[in-house]
Every structure is written in structure tokens, then in C-alpha cells.
Structure 1
Amino acid sequence: MTLENEQLINKSYFETFLSETETAHPIRVLGEAYLEEQKNEMYDLSYIRYAQGEVYFHNKDYEAAIFKWENIANELEPWAKKNIADSYFELGLLSAAEDIYTNIQTDSNTLAVEVSLQLFALYIEREKFDQAYKVINKAISLNPDYPNVTALARSFYEERQDWSSATLLAVNEMTRTESINWFNHLHRYVEQGYTKSFSPDYFYSALTTVYKVDQQHFEQLTSALWHSYRNQDNYLLWVKTINELFLNIDVNTNESWKEISALYQETYFELTDGRHLINELHEVLPLVLENWLKVTNKEDALFASASVLAWNELFPSSVEVNSARNAQKVILQAKHDQNSLEHSLQLFDSITKWTEKNKLEIGYKTNWWMNQLTEFRMNSYLITGFVGSEKSGFINSVLGEKLVDDSTLVVLSDDDTVEMNEISTFGSRQISNISEYQEQAAQNGTTGFLNLKRPCIFLNEIESTLINTPEFTGMSNEQNETYEYLPLADGVLFVLDANDPFTDKERQVLLKMKEKSPNVPIHFLLNKLDSIYNEADAIRVAQDTRTRIRSYFPDAQVLPYSLSHPVSQQLNNLTNFFKSNFQVLSHQDKNISKILFLIRITLTNLLKKRVQMESSLIDSIKWNEDILVRLNGFHHGLGDLESDKIKVVTDSYRRIKTEMKDDLTKSIPKMLKDCSELIKEDSDFTQLHVELNEKMNDKVQRYVGHELIPEAYRALSAWIEMSNEELAHSQHYLDEMSETFNGLYQHEKLKLVCDFKVLDDWRRDINRMTSRVQVEKENILLRTNPAQFLLKSAGRLFGSLSQNKSMLYNQYKKYVEHENYEDVTEAIVNKFFLQFDMFEKALESDITIFFKEPFHQLNKIITETQTEIEESQQSLKKMKTNPEAYYDPIKLFELKLQQYEFMVKAKKATVYSESRV
């Protein structure tokens, strides 16, 4: 910035008119200069007026300053306008100041920046923050090196909590100036989480810049960004960004990159924890591994190099060739990780949690073995041999009791208690003896084994468990369980029959065992020497057997054993044989290999289960669809049964009720007509109609109570029994159908129980309807119809006259005998049968209640079956359309397994190499 610009900015241009020795006030000096300039023929007062305006401004005479600056017509005019705006600003006339600032036109970069800064201050004061953003950004674009411009902008952004703008400014300035100060600001923003909204690749240039400036600051910023993007949606993009960065920078392997190496290791674990599909990782993970190996110190590169090799093993050619070769070299030079066991157990735990989340099961048997392997003090030796070797005889002699046979897989261990348990995929079950286990195994099949615990001096001495596998036979031995349990053993004791030791078939089996588990040592027990006639023959057979064995197994030892001799005489030799011949490795090292084997078996089984799951779903859908057809058919049949029972029961009841109605309808008129016998010539005809009416009602009541109701009770009781038989037949039908369906379900899923309480309700209602019957009295002869009116009137008028009684007698008798009584009969019948009619109307509803619970249960099971079909179809569709959701996690588990296996192999190779040296 020139001196002139500094004077214009600071309003000190007037000092150019003052001499160094000047003592007079600037106003006087400039006034005299003004008068002196006017004396010139061609004068220009603009410079002096500009200077006078500055002096007035400094002395807060803003109006005088404005007056002076309004009359500037030279190159200082833009500055004068800016100064006028400054004056209005100081006077608080912000609107006027803004108008002037925004109308200044200038080619001066300095003046433009100054105007922007003044407007920035003005807009903040007026709380016009959008305009403030624009002018401060303009100032930065004009000259970011202008004093305090970027500092003002940063403070403004931070005060406004505009971390996006603050971050952009910090990145741009750090990249432009390579200033550590801006690095510190950016690092602070990242650590406080203000940069998460930025795409990770935005920071590429900033990281490149800081790497050139200082590696320590580079690691700090990289680490902060790495942590900020973790668990974010754009985490993979960050990993891609950092991968690209490390591909394009020269990494000095002599420098320490511990923090970056640790971050790459964490990222490897995060990316392979099952949340990402393999097609996502193919683009990212190979570079993660290559860069991880690049920044890792060779001594600590075991994990990185093993990971590179494992990925390249599973996905050939996905890792750059030189990186794969480098990993092969580095893994042998790396410091061996002491947490291999912990990593292996964590992997198994991850698999377990994944299976639980996906409704799968690893199986109790596998978990049991895993628990056994964590007891590091114990060795496991597999005892096997061919039929006739008396393998079980040898084991029983050691145990001191006949407990095992040649056909059952038994794991024997020393314990203070005596206990026998069946260990299977489904759990543990205590049993009393081997026979019980064999019987159930023959009936149900089993993939388990027996775990026999008991005190045993020999097992205690050698601190071991024995795995007794079924004997090999002369037929195909491919499926013998020895092969399954061989990798879990620390050694094999192969029992030979001294009468025919080391046959061709035995040799073939042994070579196959060696091929499958080359690191498991095999030694031999020459059994049944007591069957050989003399000691010389025994020595000869033993020596000959050793010679033939060592042609194939040079390191194998042979121990002669006699079942006829007391075990106490042979126990010391047997103990020494195991201790001296079976290599004693670190319990942790040998168990890691076994754990990894179990994990590999588990993953293999999980892959098989995926096929089984799909097949099971298809079978389940087919079976449920078939059962649904049957259930719907049964449902329709039950509906027909219900309708049939409603018809049978109601029709039967209706017939009884109709018969009762017909009987009463016929009997009432006859009974009433028969009442004519009650009319006598000497009757009191004035009250006869009343007396007859009473007696007619009594007669009807007696008939109903003594004849109709008893007969109705008998008929309805028979109807109840008939209904009971009909409904019981329905229940029997439902029981048969339930049994049929439960046979299909193979458990009691369907239990259809009808509500026989309705029969109790019917009995109660019938007892109520047929007990304490009271027929409501009917107005029979007290009606107001013309015939009765005339008859009753005549009785009252002439009844007291004896000569008229004969006439009244005949009229009454004729009326009673010839009246049809239809209305009376209908009224009596309707009233009496009202409760019987109501009972009939409720029958259909009652029978529906009888079948309600079976319908409810059947509808429930139909709905459950439909839901199960739909869920299975959805699961099957998901499995077929998205198989990677299942296979990819297993593949990533396999990746880690492969990695740990490489680490174990590398350690063994190093140990072997050191032992050679």
C-alpha cells in the first residue's frame, strides 16, 4: 500500500501541506494556502479543500467537512465521496451514508475495499446481515491480504455461528497462505463438529497443503476429520478421499504414522462389521488395506499385512500386485500380536450376535466346544482305531470301569464328580448310562456326543481330555466322526491290534488324517499284546510294527499295551509316553488354531443353513398353502354343520310347539262348548255369564296344567336329549378334525371346544316354561259383541221371572254349544305360547354361540396361517432379491477368519525359523 493511499485511508492527506517545523494550527496553514492559491491566474482549490475537510472531520465538524468535500472535482473526488459518507456515518445518518457508499465508482482497489469495510460496519449496525455478508465477501475477493479483512470476516461468521462460511474461509486461507494460524481455526471447527455438512472431498486440497507444511498438523487435522465423519452417511466418501490422498503423497516409512495407522485399522473393522455390502467395499477396502500397510511400521504391521493377504485371497487381483507382495514380506517381519486369542473370540462373538439378530442358531455343541477351548490348561487327545483293536477296552482299563464302547463318541475328562451328559446341537441333557443315549439316538438320530466326567488319575496326570471316536470299519470310512473332531485334538493315539497291526486300510486312513490335519501329531498304542504267546514274539511284533510305521510317520512312537496286565503296572509308562511324545505347545497358541477351526466350521454351516432356509421357506409356504386349503374347507364344512344343526334342532322344536298349539287350538273350543252342561233351568241368568266365564277359564287352566304341560315337558325333555346328541355329534366331529390337523401340525395346535352350556340354558328355560303354568284369564262371555250383549241383557231383564227361565236356558245353552270361540282360542294360544315363541327365536343364536369358540379358534389359525404364508413369501422374496444381505456378512466374517489364520501361520513360520537358527 502506497504512502498516498495510507494518507487517504487515515484522512491525513492534509499533512502534505505542513512543514516539519510548522507550529501553526493546520486550519490556519490551510487557510493561508487557500488564499495564496487564489492569487494564481489558473488556480485549483480542490486539494486544499480536501485537506481542510480532513481537518474538520478530525475535529468532529462533520458539516464543514462535508461542505468542503462536496466541492472536489479532481482525482480525489471518489475519496471525497467516501469521506462524506464517513461523516454521515459519524452523524448517525446511516441511510444517507449507505446511499453515498453504494454510488461510489472507482478503479482503486484500495478505495473499493475501504468502502466495502465501511458498508460492512454500517450493515452490522443496521442489522442488515445479508448485505453485510455480500460486502465482506466482496472485500475478500478484492484483496484477501488487505489488513484485517479475513480476520473481520472470520469474527463475523463466528459471531453469527455461520460455521459453513467460517470453514470455507479457513480452508481457502489455509490453502492460499499455508498459515498454521488458519490450520488452527479449521482444526477447531472440525473438532467441534461444525464441518460435518461438507462433502469430505472438499478438504482434499487443504489436507494436501497442510501435509506439505507440517506432518504433525496433517495427522491432527486428518484424525479430526476422520472422527467427525465416522457413523455419518458420507463416511465411505471420506474413506475414498483419504485413500486418494495417500495414493498421491509420498509417505516416508521411517516417520511415525501411528495415529493414521490406528485409524486405518479402526476403519477396517468398521467397514467389515456387516453394515456394508461387499460391492460397496470392493471400491474402497483394497485401497484402505494398501494405504494401511503403507503407513504402518513394519514391526507392527501384522494386522495390516494379514488383512491385505486375506482380502486378496478371497478376492484375487483386487489388491495391487506390489502391495500383495509387500504384505507377504512384511508379515514375517512384523511383531506378533499378543491379542490373537482376543480377536478370535471377538470374531466368534460377532458371528453369534449376527446369527441371533437374523434368527439363526450356531448350535449348543459348537458353543460347548468353544467354552472348552477357553480352558487353556487342558490338552485334548483323540483316541481312535479300527474294529477289533479293542480301543474301548484300553480306555475302560484306564478309567477303571466299563463305561465306553467302540461305537459311541465320548469326550472324557477328569472331574471330582461323576456325570454323563449328552451334548447336541439343541442343548445338554443329563443321562444315566450309554445304553439310554444309544436307544434314543437309534430312535431320533443324533449329531451329538457324550461328555463323561469322573475322577481319573491318568487324565489328571496328563492334564488332558480324551476324545473317543467310533471305530473305523472295513467299509467306507469317509463319514467317520474322527475326521470331524481331528482338528480339535492336540494329538492322536491310534490303537492297533497286535495280531494284525498297521494294515493297508489303517495306513490309508492314517494318511488321510495326516492330509487333513498335518500339524496334529499321531502316535500309536499296540494293544492286545497279551494275546501273543511269548515275550520274544511280542518284542518282535512291536519292533516290526515300529519299523513299518516310521516308513510313513517318521516321528511316530509306538507304546505296547496289554489288557490282561493291571493298569497300575502300565500307568506310569502310559503317562510318560503322552508327556514325552506329544508336543506341548503354548495352550493359547494351540487353542487359537482350534477356535479358528470352529469358526470356519460355523461359517460353513451358516452357508448351508442359507440354502436350508430357502428350501425350508419354500416347503413352509407349500405346506401352509396346503393346510390353508384344508382349513378353509374345514371352515366351510363347519359352517354347513352349524346350519344343519340349527335346522335340525329348530325344526324339531317347532314340530313339538306346533303339535302343542294344534292340540290346544282343538281342545279349547270343545272344552268351552262342553260348559253348556253347567247351564241349568234354575240358574241365575242375571249372573250366569259371569259364572260361566269363570268356570270356562278354570277348565282351560286345568287342561293346560294337567294335560298339555306334562305332555309338553316330556316332549321337550326328549327334544333336549335329541339336541344333546346332535350337538355331541358335532363336538365328536370337531374332535376328529382337531386330531387330524394336530397330526399334521405334529402338536396340539387345534383344540375346538363347543359351548355345551347352551343345553343347560335350554333345560332351565324349559323348566321355567313348564312349571307353575298360569293361563291368563280370558274374557270369554263378557265380550261386547251383539249376541252376547242381547243374551246378557235378556238375562238381566227376564232372569228373575220363572216363566222366562226356560226360554233363557235354551238360548244360553244354544249359544254356548254353537259358538266357535275362534277369537278366544287364538287369544289364549297366542298368550300362552308367547314364551315358547321367544325361546324358538333364540335357538339359532344359541346354536351359533355353541359353535362360536370353534369358529373363533379356526378363524384365528386361518389368519395365522395366511400371515405366516405372507411373511414367508416376503422373506423368500427378500432372500432371492437381496442374497448379499445374508452372504456378505458371512464373507466378511470369513475375511477376518482368513486374516487371523494368516497371523497364526506367520507366527508358526517365525517360530520355526527362529528354532532353525
Structure 2
Amino acid sequence: MTNDKQLIHKSYFERFMEDRTEQPVQVLGELHFEEQAKEVIDLSYIRYAQGEIYFHNKDYETAIFKWENISNELEPWARKNIADSYYALGHLSAAEDIYTGIKSDSKTLKMEVALELFSLYLLREKIELAYKVIKKALDLDPDYPNVTDLARSFYEDQQDWKMAAELAVNEGLRTEEPEWFELLDEYVQAGYTKSFDPEFFYQPLISLYRKNQKLFQRVTASLWDSYRNGEFYLSWLKTVNTIFLNVEVQPFESWSKMSDIHQNTYLSIINGTYLVKELEDIVPVLLSNWQKLANQSKALFAATAVLAWNEIFPASMDAESLKRAETLIFDSEHDSVRFDYSLDLFKSLVAWAENNHLEVGYQSKWLVSELADLNTSHVLVSGTPEGEKTALINRILGENLVTETRSPVFVRSEGDLAEMNQITDTGTEKRSDQSELIDSPDVWTEVKWPAELLEDNRLALLHTAEISRNSDIAQTAEFLPLSDGMLFVLDRNTPFNEQELEILRQLQEYALNTPFHFILNTAEWRAAEDLQGTIHQFFPQSQVFAFSSGNMKGLGEFLSTVFSARGAKHEEKRTAKLLHYIRRTLTDLLNKRVQTENHLVETVKWNEDILVRLNGFMNHLRDVEQEKAAAITASYREATAEMKRDLKLELPKILRGCSAHIKEDSDFSQLHITLNRKMNEEIGTYVHDNLIPKLQTALREWLVRTNEELNESQGYLNEMSTSFNGLYGEEKMKLVCDFKVLEDWKRDLNRMTSRADVEEQNILLRFKPTEFLLKSAGKLFAALPQNKSMLYTQYKKYVESKNYEEITAEISKKFFLEFDLFEKALKSDIVIFYQDPILYVDETIRESETSISSSKAALEKMKSNPEIYYDPLRLFEVRLLQSEFMVKANEESAYIIG
């Protein structure tokens, strides 16, 4: 080993310095000279030592020269030293080549070469090679000085937490040194091991448990926390379950942390996040291990969890665990039943419901918040109409604030606060006075009023409807299990009569251990004392108080005594009431699953029926649109066509009649111009005095008929809206047509008729043979008297016999151009008229189709994966049953002790 150290530190030369005081250079020089004088020369050892001296003095070239001539067993070390020299000279590539070429059986040399290469690779940023060489070194000799520290630093510098954690685990297993597990714990707490398969930590934890149980708990707790709610969480639970199955533990105090972790884990994994099939192999083992770890004071929680799980999932727990659970329940020192556990269960149930599109009503949550007020006793005040219970509450308040209603009334005192609220399943609404109150069993009333008796004795009163002989006592029965006690106001004239006794017996079936006490409205305390014996025959624990308006202090003391809100037993009783309400909520949610499925089926059926009706309505509506467009357009065309026919008939007559303007003494040279002007004047007179008035009348009549047609359509749409709204059960559909179209038509027609006119036409001035000859003749012969008669005859004959169809058609086309364009736009205007109703119906059709599709998808999901809904509720029931077992166990223990 000494030789290895000398070779590592390049101090081999010290072997030649024994008993010598000269400088090493001088000593080695003399030895070199002496060796050369020998018959058989071997200078390798001396040259090796000389190389070391030169290296230490940084004469690396000379050192290399000396080490290159080594041919004995020191040659591999000499090669390594040559590489060290090149490394020191900065010739890293040459150093690397020499290091990697060294062959030797020496583990020490291999390790030294590996460490030098590791350092060189880091310097040259050859990270992959650095990984390989440090792994090789670890595999070769992990005990070699500094190799694990170098590896750890390297992995941490590279932030390669996988390799760092594996190193810590491997070294922990190999050396069993606690510092490696402490390092692993640091990595775990930093979150560097979340991606590891939990099975990787099985053997290290087993090994750590055998060596150091305190550190085992710490590392296990860190791993547990790191995996919590992650992708490997359930896999971790299986692993840790197996670990605790294979280690021997005793339920002593030092395991309390592990016990708490088991408890918290159990509560978290049965909160509706996981399915039963995911937990069926995990929870039973978890509970068995938890029982082993739980100390005496917390054994009840674990034991009842075991029994509850086995109750809901029969035969899932092994016989030994069940037997141990029963023993723990009856033989262990019980921890008290904590109200907050049950409150957390209710909150988890509400959160799960909201995440699954179910609703736990506001009234339910409000009631639970009332139960959570452990400092106030909630007293249900009941009685028959003869008992005057309302009057009693008003005397306590000092105001007539409570009346006989079907609405339950909660009465409390909060300092000087005076307000009245009504509570529905959607929230709380303030009321300014009694006139605004809704009288309904489904709407609760909350009265906050300064009342000394309630404030001093920490009491809240609940007033329900009076109970008559034949009335339904359901409302009182509903609130009875949630009250800390019932105060029954007796009939002062015939107290505790048969009617009252029968009512009390029925209420007792719902009481859930709720105590009954009695008020007798009388100042005669002896009457109450005499009544006490009778009542005790049926209600042995009940008390009777004789009340008079002047004895409010005595009433307060009585109520405070019999309905005390103090002590652990009060919390246990309140817990039992909360559990009763949670079970009712759980049952409601189970029923809602069936209701939801039935509702989806009905929704699909209803929407499919509506869809058929809507599609039929849409088809008919489009037919109506087309029919109205055709009818209205045809009606308009008929009105304008008649005017066109009039124009076609009258215009030629008017033009022919213009022959009357031809006289024998006319100036025939200008007659064609004069006559053309007269013809245009006659046409203008006809158009303005005859055609346009008739056209205006025809179009007004058309507008009236069209308005009737469109109003008829609107009436049809109104009827259909009413019909569909009846089906929807709400004012959903309101189909209103765009009557602005009619206003636009009226405005456009007024504008067109008011500016309608006929431009001056070239009737006789056209370049046609006949007109040309007449004009020419007029100019040529008009000066000769004997020719005027001939021209007169020819002109008159021409005007009276001329065919005016072309000019008539031309005038008609120009005059009716705007009216014809109006006709072409009618169809698109009618489309606009029906546009909003059609778009609305089309949108409603798409809504129905979407509703059908989504409902069918939800229904299919519910039917194909019922466990998604039912499994969380079964797990909530496990937790509920566990709490009920705890309450029962404490009650039985109290009975045995008593």
C-alpha cells in the first residue's frame, strides 16, 4: 500500500533517500552513474524517480523524457505520469490519448487514471465521457478516496438528480451510513425524486429500518409527501404498504408520525378522487398497517376505519385485522369524537358534488353551519295550537316578531343586531318587515333580535308550524334530529293530553336521542310538579317548567340547564346529529344519480319531440315565406300590369286625337314641331291627371292587402310561439317579423309616384321615311295655297292612322322602370320580413340538437361508467360509517363506565 501511495503522490524517489541527506537530484545522479558502471545495467527505477523530481520542479519536458525510457513494471505508472505532465503543460488532447491507452491490472492505477480523466473531461466539457468514467470508477472501487464525493458533486453540478439520488441510495445500501440516507431525504424534500418508480426505494427503506428507525420514518415521510397526489401516488402506497407488512412494529409513541400519515392518507384517498378498483388492493393493507402503528389514544379512529371498510366491502379485510379492530374498540382508551372530522367529511361531499355538476342546496350548507356553532344550543319549540308556543317565543323576544306560518323560523340574538332574512335553496335574502315574508315550508325565516335570555344562555330557537291532531308532523320531524333538544309547550287547560302524547310518540321516532322537555304556561309551579310524575312514565329524563311572563330569569336558567352547550359530550352529540344529516345528504345524492339519469332520458325524449315539431314548423315557415313572396309579388304585378294596359290603350288614342290640332291654315313647315309638342302635352296631362292617381290608388290598395297578408303571418307566428312556450314552460319563443319592410315599401312607393313623370318624347321628329317626307313637303309646299289642302289632308290622315305601339312601349318602359325594379326587390324584402323568426327557429333547432347530443353523451357515459358516480359515494359512506362507529363506540363506553 505504501508503494501505491508513493506512486500516486509521485514520491517513489524517497526510497532512494534512506539515510541520505543530500539533495534528491544529487543522490539520483550518483546512483545513475553507479548503475552505468555495472555489467548489467537497469536504469528504469532511477529514471522513474528522476522523472518525479523533475515533475515536482515543473520541468515537465525532462520528466517526460525520463519516463519514456521505463520498461519495467513501473511502465504503466510512468505512462500515467507522462499524461499528468502533458495535462500540466495544457496539452489536454495528448494527455487524454495517453490516459486512455494505459493498460494495467492495478486497481489503484485504474482508479487514478479514471479520476484524472474525469477531471480532464470536465475541463474539456466532454460531459458524456465524464459520466462514463465516473461511473466506471464507482463500479470499480466506490471505497476509493473521494470518488463518491466527486460523483455526488458532479451530479449535483449537472443537476442530474436521478443519478444523484441513485448514488445516495446505492451508497446507503452499501455502507449503511446514515449520511447517505440524510442526503437522499434532502433530495426527496427538494422534489428531485418524484419521477422515480416507488419500488426503487423499497430495499433502501427496508435496510434503513433495520439500521435507524427514526431516520427511516423521516425519509419515508418525505417520500410519502413527495408522491402525494402525483402520478406514482397509488404505486407508492402499494410499495409502502408492503414495507410495513415486512417490518415488525409495535404501537408505541415513536410511531405517531407514521400513524398520522396513514390516517391523513386514508382520509384523502377516499374523498372521491379515486375509483374503488384503484383502491381495493391498497386500502385494506393501509388500514391493517395503520392499526399496528396507532397508539392507544388514537386507536379508535383506525379500528373503526377497518370495520367500516369491511362493512361496505365485505371480506376485504383479513380476519386478524378485524379481530384486532374489535379489540381496540372495546379495550382501548378512546380518543374523543371530533366534530371537525365530520365537518370535513361534509365539505368533501359538497366539493365532490359541485365537481360532478350536482348541487347540495344552500339550505343544507346553512344548516350545517348552524350545527358547526358548538357554543350555541339549538332548541326546537313545538306544540299544538292550544299550547301558545308562538306567544312564548315573542315574550322571550319582547316583540311580536313571530307569527304562525308554514315557514320554519330560526330565532337568535347577536348583540344589537336586528334583521330578518329568508333562506332558500339558492341563498339568503333580506326582508324589511313581515309583509315581505314568503309563507312556504320550503322557505326558512331567520330572525336576529336583541334578546337577553337568548344571549346570556347561548340559545337559538327554531319555531315550526303548530301540530294539530290530523296534521302532518313532517316539518317538525325534519328538524328534530338536528336540534339539541325540543321544548314542547303544553296545553295549559289539559296538559299532556292524549293528542299531545300521540304527537310526542310520533316525534320520538325521529328524535335521534334528542331530549324532550316541557313548558307549562302557568304560574302554579305545583301544577308542573304534579305533571312531572306523569310525564316521567313516558319520558323519564324530561323536565317540566312552569312559566309565567314575570319569570323570564327562571326560564333562562331552566333552558340553560337542560340544553347546555358545554363539554365533550355536547360535541359528540352534535357530531352524531351532523352525521345524521350527512347520511341524509348522501342518500339524496344517491337518489339524484337516478333522478339525473331519468332526467337525461326525459330530456332526450322531450327534445326529440320538440325537434320534430320545430323542424316541421321551420319547413312550414319557409313555405309560408315563399307563398307570401309569390302572392305579394303577383298582387303587385297585377296592380302595375293594369296600369300598363291602360297606358297601352289610352296613349295611341290620345296621340291620334292630336290630329284635331291640324288646321288647313296651319304652318305646315313647322307643324311637325308644333304637333310633337301638343302630343307631349296631351301625354303629360293624361299621366298626371289619370294614370298616376289610378296607380297611387292601386298601390295603396296593394299595401293594404299586403299588410293584411303579413299580419296574418304574424298572427300565425304568435300562435306558434304561444304553443311552443306552453311546451317549454316559459316565455322562450317570441317570433316578431320585420314590419319596417312595409314602412319602407310605403315610403318608396310614395317617392316613386310623386316624382313619376314622362320625359318629352320625339314622336313626329323621328328620322323615318313618312315623317321625313311630310316634314320636307311642309317646308317645300307650305308657301303655295293650292298645296295646303293637300298637306292638311295628308297630315291628318297620317296622325290618325299612325301605329303608336313603339312610342307607347318606350314611354311605358321608362315610366314603369322604377316600379319594375321595386317588384324585383319584393322577394328579398319578404325574406327580410321573415328573417328574424326563421333565424330564431333555426337557432332553437340547433340548441335542441346540441341538447340531445350532450344528453345522450352524458347518458352513455353514466351507463357505461356508473362507478365514476357510485364509487365516490360508496367511499364517502365508508367514512361516514366510520364516524358513526366512533360515536357508537363512545356511547357504549360511557354506558359501561356508567
1:702 aligns with 2:682: no
Partners of 2:334 and 2:890 within 8 A in 1: no
Equivalent position amino acid for 1:15 in 2: E
Any conservation in 2 of the 1:660–1:708 contact (CA below 8 Å)? yes
Alignment equivalent of 1:603, drawn from 568, 581, 586: 586
Q: 1:745 aligns with which of 728, 736, 747?
A: 728
Secondary structure at the aligned position of 2:254 is classed as coil
Within-5 A mapping of 1:187-206: 187-206=185-204
1:782 paired to 2:758: no
The equivalent of 2:97 in structure 1 is 99
Shift of 1:337: 4.9
User: Corresponding residue for 1:254?
Assistant: 252
1:15 matched to 2:9? The reply is: no
Q: 2:40, 2:417 → 1: CA distance?
A: 127
Deviation at 1:392, TM superposition (A): 4.9
Q: 1:488 aligns with which of 455, 479, 482?
A: 482
Residue equivalent to 1:336: 335
Specify the code of the residue in structure 1 equivalent to 2:7: L
Q: Distance in 1 between matches of 2:450 and 2:76?
A: 108
Cα offset for 1:468?
4.4
Amino acid at match of 1:484: E
Contact 1:158–1:166 (Cα < 8 Å) also in 2? yes
CA distance, structure 2, for counterparts of residue 414 and residue 719 of structure 1: 74
Q: Give the Cα–Cα distance (whole angstroms) in 1 for the partners of residues 452 and 136 of structure 2.
A: 92
2:591 alignment partner AA: K
- Report SS of the residue matched to 2:861: helix
Residue 76 (structure 1) aligned to one of 74, 77, 99:
74
| Alpha-carbon distance change, 571 to 14 in structure 1, aligned in 2, over 3 angstroms | closer
Distance 2:744 2:86 in 1: 104
Contact 1:196 1:229 in 2 (8 A): yes
Aligned to 2:461: 465
- Distance (whole Å) between structure 2 residues aligned to residue 844 and residue 150 of structure 1: 91
Greater shift, 453-462 or 124-133, is seen at 453-462
3-state SS, counterpart of residue 256 of structure 1: helix
Q: Compare 590-599 and 704-713 and name the one that shifted more.
A: 590-599
Contact 1:693 1:779 in 2 (8 A): yes
Q: SS of 1:465's equivalent? A: strand
Structure 1 residue 513: deviation in Å?
5.5
Residue 753 of structure 2: aligned partner:
770
Q: 1:383 to 1:100 in 2, by over 3 A?
A: closer
C-alpha separation in 1, matches of 2:437 and 2:62: 119
**What letter is aligned with 2:816?**
F
C-alpha separation between the residues in 2 aligned to 1:604 and 1:490? Answer: 23
**In the alignment, what sits opposite 1:50?**
48
Which one of the candidate residues 178, 181, 193 is aligned to 1:180?
178
Instruction: Determine the C-alpha separation between the residues in 2 that align with 1:791 and 1:373.
Output: 118
Gap change, CA 1:762 and 1:148, over 3 Å in 2: same
Residue 803, structure 1, aligned to residue 768, structure 2? no
Partner of residue 109, structure 2? 111
Q: TM-score, normalization: structure 2?
A: 0.88
The reply on whether 1:680 has 2:663 as its aligned counterpart is yes
Question: Distance between the aligned counterparts of 2:707 and 2:410, measured in 1?
Answer: 64
Shift of 1:197: 2.6
Change (3 A) 1:15 1:304: same
What SS class does the counterpart of residue 681 from structure 1 fall into?
A: coil
Question: 1:165, CA displacement in angstroms?
Answer: 1.9
Alignment of 1:400-799 (within 5 A): 410-411=408-409, 413=411, 425=425, 463=459, 465=461, 467-468=463-464, 471=467, 480-492=474-486, 514=508, 517=511, 519-522=513-516, 550=537, 554-555=540-541, 586=567, 587-799=570-782
Query: Structure 2: which 5+ runs fail to align?
Result: none
Alpha-carbon separation, structure 2, partners of 1:206 and 1:426: 55
Using the alignment, how far apart are the partners of 1:316 and 1:650 within structure 2? 80
The CA deviation string for residues 727-755 of structure 1, in whole angstroms up to 9 with x for no partner, is 11111111111111111111110111111
Report the Cα offset of residue 507 of structure 1. Answer: 8.2
Q: Note the C-alpha offset of 1:295.
A: 3.0
Compared with structure 1, are the counterparts of its residues 449 and 173 closer, same or farther at alpha carbon in structure 2 (3 Å cutoff)? closer
Distance in 1 between residues matched to 2:53 and 2:451, nearest whole Å? 112
Q: Which amino acid aligns with 1:82?
A: K
Given candidates 254, 273, 279, the residue that maps to 2:271 is 273
Question: Counterpart of 2:803?
Answer: 820
Alignment map for 1:844-855 (pairs within 5 Å): 844-855=827-838
Once residues 724 and 613 of structure 1 are traced to their aligned partners in structure 2, the CA distance between those partners, rounded to angstroms, is 49
CA displacement, residues 339-379 of structure 1 (integer Å, 9 cap, x when unaligned): x2333333333333333343333234424433443454654
Of the structure 1 ranges 9-18 and 489-498, higher mean CA displacement relative to structure 2 is found in 489-498
Q: CA 1:515–1:321 in structure 2 vs 1: closer, same or farther (change >3 Å)?
A: farther
Change (3 A) 1:93 1:795: same
Distance 1:474 1:695 in 2: 105
> Contact conserved, 1:422 with 1:431, CA < 8 A, in 2?
no
SS at match of 1:781: coil
Could you report, residue by residue, the CA deviation over 1:521-547 in whole angstroms, capped at 9, with x for unpaired residues? 34678999x9xxxxx9x999979956x
2:117·2:133 contact (CA, 8 Å) conserved in 1?
yes
Which whole-Å CA distance do the structure 2 matches of 1:425 and 1:24 have between them? 105
CA–CA distance in structure 2, aligned partners of residues 522 and 617 of structure 1:
45
Tell me the equivalent position of 1:533: none
Is residue 756–residue 815 contact of structure 2 (8 Å, CA) maintained in 1? no
Shift of 1:278: 2.7
Q: 1:856: Cα distance to partner?
A: 1.9
- Is the contact made by 2:80 and 2:102 (CA closer than 8 Å) also made in structure 1? yes
Of 239, 242, 262, 2:240 maps to: 242
Q: Which of 368, 371, 374 in structure 2 is aligned with 1:373?
A: 371
User: Structure 1 pair 792/310, CA: closer, same or farther in 2 (3 Å)?
Assistant: same
Distance 1:224 1:581, change over 3 A: closer
The one of 269, 292, 310 equivalent to 2:308 is: 310
2:862 corresponds, among 879, 887, 911, to: 879
The code of the aligned residue for 2:3 comes to E
In structure 1, distance between residues paired with 2:768 and 2:762: 12
State the partner residue of 1:207. Answer: 205
Does the 8 A contact of 2:481 with 2:512 survive in 1?
no
CA change 1:857–1:22 in 2 (3 A) is same
Compared with structure 1, are the counterparts of its residues 327 and 699 closer, same or farther at alpha carbon in structure 2 (3 Å cutoff)? same
Shift, 1:63, TM fit:
3.5
**Given residue 158 of structure 2, which amino acid in structure 1 is its aligned partner?**
R
The aligned amino acid for 2:812 is V
Q: Secondary structure at the match of 2:668?
A: coil
Q: Give the Å deviation of 1:556.
A: 5.5
Asked whether 1:891 is paired with 2:874, we answer yes
Preserved contact between residue 256 and residue 297 of structure 1 (Cα < 8 Å): no
Aligned partners of 1:404 and 1:410 also within 8 Å: no
1:868 to 840, 851, 858: 851
Instruction: Note the alpha carbon deviations across 1:779-809, whole angstroms, 9 max, x for none.
Output: 1111111221122112122222222222222
Distance 1:283 1:470, change over 3 A: farther
Residues of 1 paired with 2:382 and 2:597: CA distance? 38
Residues 431, 437 of structure 1: 8 Å contact kept: no
Which residue of the partner structure matches residue 299 of structure 1?
Answer: 297
User: What TM-score does the superposition give when structure 1 sets the normalisation length?
Assistant: 0.86
> How far 1:321 sits from its partner (Å)?
3.6
C-alpha offsets along residues 122-142 of structure 1, whole Å, 9 cap, x if unaligned? 222222221121112111111
After TM superposition, give the deviation of residue 842 of structure 1 in Å. Answer: 1.1
Structure 1 pair 124–527 and aligned structure 2 pair: CA distance change class (3 A): closer
Alignment: residue pair count: 886
Q: Any stretches of 5+ residues in structure 1 without a counterpart?
A: 531-535
Distance 1:711 1:40 in 2: 152
Determine the structure 1 residue equivalent to 2:2: 3
